[in-house]
Amino acid sequence: MGKERLLSLDTTCREDKQVTREIAAVALEKDKTVAAFDRLLVKAMLKGVGNPPISIRLWNNEEIRPEGASGGERLVIRDRRALYQLILNPELHFGELYSAGRIDVEGDLPALLASIYRAINRPDTAWLSFLIAKWRKRSRRANTLSRARRNIHRHYDIGNDFYQLWLDREYAQYTCAYFPGPDMSLEEAQEAKMHHVCRKLRLRPGLSVVEAGCGWGGFARFMASKYGVKVRAYNISHQQVLHAREKVKSEDIAGQVEYIEDDYRNIHGDYDIFVSIGMLEHVGIENYGELGRVIDRCLKENGAGLIHSIGRNQPGLLNSWIEAKIFPGACPPSLGQMMNILEPLEFSVLDVENLRLHYALTLQHWLSRFEGQQDVVRQMFDEHFVRAWRLYLSGSIAAFTSGQMQLFQVLFTRKHNNDLAMTRAHLYG
Amino acid sequence: MGKERLLSLDTTCREDKQVTREIAAVALEKDKTVAAFDRLLVKAMLKGVGNPPISIRLWNNEEIRPEGASGGERLVIRDRRALYQLILNPELHFGELYSAGRIDVEGDLPALLASIYRAINRPDTAWLSFLIAKWRKRSRRANTLSRARRNIHRHYDIGNDFYQLWLDREYAQYTCAYFPGPDMSLEEAQEAKMHHVCRKLRLRPGLSVVEAGCGWGGFARFMASKYGVKVRAYNISHQQVLHAREKVKSEDIAGQVEYIEDDYRNIHGDYDIFVSIGMLEHVGIENYGELGRVIDRCLKENGAGLIHSIGRNQPGLLNSWIEAKIFPGACPPSLGQMMNILEPLEFSVLDVENLRLHYALTLQHWLSRFEGQQDVVRQMFDEHFVRAWRLYLSGSIAAFTSGQMQLFQVLFTRKHNNDLAMTRAHLYG
């Protein structure tokens, strides 16, 4: 599984490679010198991403430090061709080049990436992001049942052992935790997140819950054991479902939890509660109407639901490298886009909470555990994989810190349901 | 002022009157008998609004009680022409006929209206609501600067004395209160609402606030005196601004609060905080882009904002009688539509709270005070006015109770602002 994925991590888009080769054929010299033209290209590249305050060191150790650069973080470009590739498509090639070790970062990787994120969407570069987004939107493929299964397979089936190295131990939550206290451990914060969601949904013994996208099954076990509910949990990742079924076997709640290897579109039955944590990112905007109808079909008259998802401040697409290499088919929605799930069916939105900075904290925990286990990961896969995942985790920290990404929890009920908590004080008792 | 408005309340749409007259010319008989045809029409009318479980009493005292009607509430139709008008356009004519005393309600008026609201949007009548909404949307006029002023004048300038009869005494809040304790007085709940908003915005001494649509100025005084901020408060209602200026004169905070008689589109300056309570309903969907640009123009880099507005579960229009006679130009948005204010400028939504049931409670307080003062109101205006406002307040209770209307508080910041409260616990300390 891991090997198959590694191959795909190693391949850049064929078209881009071709263009790069042509430029390189003209300009590439075998020596290690830096020409005036190269320096111009570096400045053009920095300008193209909004002139972030970062220093660049080139393959001959020459340093280019723009005005305002603190010098704390430094991008190292190890060969001329890497520079050309960065200029052609920085969003896509940064990840490839970093993974291959042809560019590197000295200093704090998340901090460097955050300063790029902060710079990149300033008004003078916004048109570029807009054009790229337009083009990518046109070329984006819909998440059909079979493509959804392939996409999920590529990310989640690379091995349960790998994720267990750096996720929280008991519940393996691969989603944003909740840190009501800043010094909480990852384990405490993931439990706090699950309690927070259960309290928002006012779970109580006897209720029936359907979970769409259940990961390794941790939250379903948590709801059953801590809140006494019955859960049917859906997931299309074969590896995750196997793990979840194995894990629940030995527990008292085995009769209360059922894991089903199937797509959310095939959910059937009547439930008091619909909950989905970290699945919507993989659904695809084009399927939101259908997701709404699935919820409408399976929710009882006095039902309530919660969707927890990475989101954005305005419609747009995921970083293209992450979409191509880490999360195929993923697309985090704006809050307005999320309303396309709920408004056609007249669901009533009760509460939206944005936990963006909690995701940055969660990712810092993950990154630190990942780094602590990097030798094990290198043995499981290879150096390219270690670097790719370091960049993905660091880039995600940067995206949540800089406000590039949001984390929305949206609580809703059916229109006529008046069995509501009058205030949210019960979440903070 | 009051007289001018009364005239407009007394006029139904000219075209509808004409049609009614034509039907009436054929069918109207001078006697008090009820024909089989009338009974058919009653049933058709009930079917048209989704067969709500309510009884009808006709002008000859004959009662028609549909299956499932509890008999607790009863609609009384006092003449044949009233029945015809109801059938032609129930949404518009119900208000007119009730105000004129030609239809009446025995039992609990809000309860009867809520049962109609619950019935009316069932699938078999939804197509009708859809067509009506389409037509009304096409014929709706944009809120230009001058029309906005006229619209606001018609509702808010009918006399400060009138509103003071039934709003909370100190701050005259004509918006949804907040009842963290169910037995709170209206005065306590309005103060709780204002504290809730100030805490969401984390107001502290020295901050500058711009308020768009300040009513009689109560919230601006509250923010200045309780949280030590400086406030510039905008309103296009001449009567309200005069009142607000007069009221603040005698207080210590006079130097901290400035009331400006102008449209939100003319807001200038730089502020830490943008706040707007109960203005968005009057802005009109077509102006949301401009409102967003106004907020963007006037908010500092680390600024935050809050918009408090009546809303809906999905896009649609206000009840046509209320829009025609009570709130000209008003249109409560869905949450998705509200995002058209914030997403184009990449504002980051932190928190959305739906206080629908709090508005039902607020309106019950208002209605009960209004009824207690009805003799005074009748003397200020006349019986038609008393009945129109009773219906408007009761209908609003029904709309919030049945989930027809929502109340959204949307908190947001600029994209790069990381000075956020990690949790919402400080709202519930």
* Domain residue ranges in chain B: 2-139, 145-428
- d(CA A217, CA A233) in angstroms, rounded, equals 7
Confidence (pLDDT) at B1:
35
CB contact under 8 A, B416 and A403: yes
Confidence (pLDDT) at B3:
38
- d(CA B348, CA B359) in angstroms, rounded, equals 26
Is the per-residue pLDDT at A344 higher than 50? yes
Q: What is the percentage of chain B residues whose pLDDT exceeds 70?
A: 86
Rounded to a whole number of angstroms, the distance from the CA of A354 to the nearest CA of chain B is 5
**What are the tens digits of pLDDT across the range B231-247?**
999 999 998 999 999 99
Residue with tokens 């048109």: A127
- d(CA A201, CA A407) in angstroms, rounded, equals 18
Confidence of residue A8 (pLDDT cuts 50, 70, 90): very low
Rounded to a whole number of angstroms, the distance from the CA of B42 to the nearest CA of chain A is 26
- The answer to whether residues A192 and A258 touch, using CB atoms and an 8 Å cutoff, is no
Residue with tokens 């896509």: A92
Is the per-residue pLDDT at A3 higher than 50? no
Confidence (pLDDT) at A9:
36
Confidence of residue A48 (pLDDT cuts 50, 70, 90): confident
CB contact under 8 A, A406 and B348: yes
For residue A343, give the nearest of B179, B313, B352 by CB distance.
B313
Question: Residues with Cβ < 8 Å from A131, sequence gap 6 or more?
Answer: none
**What are the tens digits of pLDDT across the range A303-325?**
999 999 999 999 987 777 877 77
| Amino acid letter, A383 | E
List % helix, strand, coil for chain B (3-state, nearest 5).
Answer: 55, 15, 30
Confidence (pLDDT) at A172:
96
Query: Which residues, listed in sequence order, are joined to residue B106 by a DSSP beta bridge?
Result: B74
Rounded to a whole number of angstroms, the distance from the CA of A290 to the nearest CA of chain B is 17
Rounded to a whole number of angstroms, the distance from the CA of A71 to the nearest CA of chain B is 22
| Dihedral sign from CA coordinates of A192, A193, A194, A196 | positive
Q: How far are the Cα atoms of A94, A269, A389, A406, B311 from residue A115, in angstroms, in the given order? A: 15, 48, 20, 17, 38
**What are the tens digits of pLDDT across the range A377-404?**
999 999 999 999 999 999 999 999 999 9
Is the per-residue pLDDT at A141 higher than 70? no
CB contact under 8 A, B416 and A402: yes
pTM of the entire predicted model = 0.89
Q: Which residues of B347-356 are buried (b: 16+ CB within 10 A; e: fewer)?
A: bbbbbbbbbb
Candidate from A120-134, A362-376, B280-294 with smallest mean pLDDT: A120-134
Chain B CB contacts of A358 under 8 Å are 422
Question: Residues with Cβ < 8 Å from A405, sequence gap 6 or more?
Answer: A310, A311, A312, A332, A356, A359, A396, A399
* Number of helices followed by number of strands (H, E) in chain B: 18, 11
Residue with tokens 């949280």: B227
For residue B423, give the nearest of A180, A346, A401 by CB distance.
A180
Confidence (pLDDT) at B319:
78
Residue with tokens 């067969």: B51
- The answer to whether residues A212 and A266 touch, using CB atoms and an 8 Å cutoff, is no
Is the per-residue pLDDT at B113 higher than 70? yes
A118: number of Cβ within 10 Å: 19
Q: What is the percentage of chain B residues whose pLDDT exceeds 90?
A: 65
Highest mean predicted confidence (pLDDT) among A53-62, A324-333, B291-300 = B291-300
Nearest one of B146, B344, B346, B7 to A402, comparing CA atoms:
B346
Confidence (pLDDT) at B2:
38
- The answer to whether residues A346 and A415 touch, using CB atoms and an 8 Å cutoff, is yes
More confident: B310 or B23: B310
Query: How confident is the prediction for chain B on average, in pLDDT?
Result: 87
Candidate from A1-5, A155-159, A353-357, A405-409 with smallest mean pLDDT: A1-5
**What are the tens digits of pLDDT across the range B331-343?**
899 999 999 999 9
For residue B336, give the nearest of A339, A348, A408 by CB distance.
A339
Q: What is the CATH number of domain A145-417?
A: 3.40.50.150
Candidate from A65-79, A415-429, B21-35, B73-87 with smallest mean pLDDT: B21-35
- The answer to whether residues B225 and B253 touch, using CB atoms and an 8 Å cutoff, is yes
What's phi and psi for A253, nearest 5 deg? -85, 10
- d(CA B291, CA B288) in angstroms, rounded, equals 5
CB contact under 8 A, A353 and B424: yes
**What are the tens digits of pLDDT across the range A173-231?**
999 999 999 799 999 999 999 999 999 999 999 999 999 999 999 999 999 999 999 99
Q: What is the percentage of chain A residues whose pLDDT exceeds 70?
A: 86
| Best to test chain B binding among A129, A195, A338, A339 (most B CBs inside 10 Å) | A339
Confidence (pLDDT) at A15:
47
| Best to test chain B binding among A306, A335, A401 (most B CBs inside 10 Å) | A335
Mean pLDDT of B107-116: 90
CB contact under 8 A, A351 and B350: no
Confidence (pLDDT) at B118:
84
- The answer to whether residues B309 and B339 touch, using CB atoms and an 8 Å cutoff, is no
Structural element, H or E, at residue A308: strand A299-311
B426: number of Cβ within 10 Å: 12
Rounded to a whole number of angstroms, the distance from the CA of B153 to the nearest CA of chain A is 32
Same fold, A2-139 and A145-417: no
More confident: B268 or A22: B268
Residue with tokens 């730089």: B270
Q: Identify the architecture of domain A2-139 in CATH.
A: 2-Layer Sandwich (3.30)
Chain B CB contacts of A121 under 8 Å are 346, 415
Confidence (pLDDT) at A118:
84
Residue with tokens 């130009």: B329
More confident: A292 or A130: A292
- Integer-rounded Cα Rg, in Å, for chain B is 23
The three-class DSSP label of residue B343 is helix
Confidence of residue A30 (pLDDT cuts 50, 70, 90): low
- d(CA B11, CA B187) in angstroms, rounded, equals 36
Q: What is the CATH number of domain B145-428?
A: 3.40.50.150
Candidate from A81-90, A259-268, B165-174 with smallest mean pLDDT: A81-90
Mean pLDDT of B149-171: 83
Q: How far are the Cα atoms of A27, A48, A74, A82, A90 from residue A44, in angstroms, in the given order? A: 17, 6, 17, 15, 12
**What are the tens digits of pLDDT across the range B291-343?**
999 999 999 999 999 999 999 999 987 777 877 777 777 889 999 999 999 99
Mean pLDDT of A150-163: 76
Q: Helix axis angle, B14-27 relative to B80-88, nearest 10°? A: 130
Q: Which two tokens stand for residue A212?
A: 């769409």
Is the per-residue pLDDT at B287 higher than 90? yes
Confidence (pLDDT) at B13:
45
CB contact under 8 A, B422 and A357: yes
Confidence (pLDDT) at B182:
79
For residue B403, give the nearest of A182, A348, A408 by CB distance.
A348
Confidence (pLDDT) at B50:
83
Question: Residues with Cβ < 8 Å from B138, sequence gap 6 or more?
Answer: none
Nearest one of B232, B201, B238, B231 to B216, comparing CA atoms:
B238
Confidence of residue B126 (pLDDT cuts 50, 70, 90): low
- The answer to whether residues A327 and A318 touch, using CB atoms and an 8 Å cutoff, is yes
Confidence (pLDDT) at B57:
93
Q: Which two tokens stand for residue A119?
A: 């710079």
A165: number of Cβ within 10 Å: 16
Highest mean predicted confidence (pLDDT) among A146-160, A296-310, A312-326 = A296-310
Mean pLDDT of A9-31: 49
Question: Above 0.85 for ipTM, yes or no?
Answer: yes
Question: Residues with Cβ < 8 Å from A367, sequence gap 6 or more?
Answer: A110, A390, A393, A394, A397
- d(CA A382, CA A416) in angstroms, rounded, equals 55
